[in-house]
Every structure is written in structure tokens, then in C-alpha cells.
Structure 1
Amino acid sequence: MNNREIDRLVAEKVMGWEPNLDDDGTVLSYDTEFGNLFFYDDNENDWSPSVNIQDAWKVVDEMRANREFRFELVTTESFSLNYKCRFRLDDVFVKVVSKSAPLAICLAALKAVGVEVQS
């Protein structure tokens, strides 16, 4: 699964946004509290929480606002380039290790809401 597909899953399953679709079913944008956010694969200004840390923090804020949880983001080892993100929902810990902090946040948030992603 690529980052854009992960971003779309986060938008719908974590953020709760409804997609605006093209005639062929392609997601064009989402109407959100941040305005209309676009999902064109070639536009670096699109909302992309799996890549952009500012967008990933919006995912953390959404989790914090709508769920009882604890958030932790750490590197897995002192010389590692991997990041670990942990969400605690009720008595269940969800842990994900990924190559970037934004991607770790997105994958852990998806896992916390019951969506398993193979990256």
C-alpha cells in the first residue's frame, strides 16, 4: 500500500471525512474543518499525514480529541532510523514501528481504529 492510499484511509477511518469523488470513483478531495483538502498524487501541497509531520499531528489531535488514549513516539534504538508509535486505547496498547514518524503515527492510528495496513 502506498502513502496516498494510507492518507486516504486515515482521512476516512480516523478523521471521519467524507470523500468528494470523480465520476470514475477517484477521490478528488475531502471537505474538512481545515477547508477542502485535495488528493492529487502530483501535488506536494496536498494533505499527506503519512509524509508531512504537520499533517500527522492533526491525526494525533483527532485521536486525542475523540478517544481516551496515550500517545508515545520514540526512536527504536539510538542509532536506528526507525520510529515507534504507541497508542493506548482503554486497556489495549497498539504499537507500530516504521521508517518515519509521520508514517508510524498514521499506521498506529489506523490500527487503533481497527484497520490493519501492510506497508
Structure 2
Amino acid sequence: MDLRAIDCLIAEKVMGWRLENRRVNIWGQEIGFWVNPKINRIVAKYSGFREESFSPSTNIADAWQVVEKLKIAVIPQAGEPPKNMKYLAEIDRRPLGGYYQAFAKTAPLAICLVALKAVGVEVEVNEQ
């Protein structure tokens, strides 16, 4: 799965947002907006070609929203983590819930992978 698809899964499955497409008059493009249904407000733009897109898999500021929502610990690795991955993200909800961990080359991607695991979505990353 590519990073853009991971970003969309995070917005929908973890953050609880819904995607609304709206037609924009610039080149007839359709731009999406992530809407938080609880407050009925646009919380992020969705676009593959604009910098203001919600990109938690690559943007640490966006990933931090996920950290705050799920209370994730991000740990730089010392020693030899699997597949030369540099970061480990963990969610530990024991004894009431589960324990989840994910390794990745970047902190934002590790955050996204562990967040998806915590909501029951396993992904394999194409771009690391």
C-alpha cells in the first residue's frame, strides 16, 4: 500500500473523519475535504498535489494528531531493530486492551502503522 492510501485510512479509520468531494472552479478539479462529523467542520484538505494535504505518514505535525488521539509512544531504536527500521511506535492498553507495535524508517510512518493495527487494519507498505 502506498503512503497516500495509508493517509486516507488514518483519516477515516483512526481519526473518524469522512471524505467529502467538492468541485472547485480551478481546472474543473474535484478536491476532497476531510470533515469531522462530531463538530461538522472541515479539518483537512485531501489532494495528492497540494502541500496542505493531511499526510500523517510523512508529516510529523499531522502524525502528532494521531499520537494525541491514541496516546502512542514513539521510541527511537538503539541496537538492531527488524529490517534496519529506525523507529518503533507502541500502543499498550494491557490489561484491558491489546498491545500493538510497528517499526518503520520514519517516526510518522511508524505512528500510522501502529495506529492502524490498533483499529484492526493491517497494511503492508510499498514505500519505506
- The DSSP-based 3-state class of the residue aligned with 2:89 is strand
- Within the candidate set 86, 89, 92, 2:93 is matched to 89
The size of the alignment, in residue pairs, is 111
Q: Give RMSD over aligned pairs.
A: 2.4
What whole-Å deviation, never above 9, does each CA across 1:41-72 have from its counterpart, x for those lacking one? 111221111111111110111113xxxxxx32
The Cα shift of 1:28 comes to 1.6
- Within the candidate set 96, 101, 107, 1:101 is matched to 107
Q: 1:81 to 1:110 in 2, by over 3 A?
A: closer
State the partner residue of 2:74.
73
The Cα shift of 1:35 comes to 3.3
Is the Cα–Cα contact under 8 Å of residues 85 and 103 in structure 2 kept in the other structure?
Answer: no
Structure 1 unmatched runs, 5+: 65-70
- The DSSP-based 3-state class of the residue aligned with 1:46 is coil
Q: 1:35 to 1:28 in 2, by over 3 A?
A: closer
Structure 2 unmatched runs, 5+: 24-29
TM-score between the two structures when normalised by the length of structure 2: 0.75
Letter in 2 for 1:97: F
* Higher Cα radius of gyration: 2
TM-score between the two structures when normalised by the length of structure 1: 0.80
Letter in 2 for 1:18: R
Letter in 2 for 1:29: F
Is the Cα–Cα contact under 8 Å of residues 67 and 73 in structure 2 kept in the other structure?
Answer: no
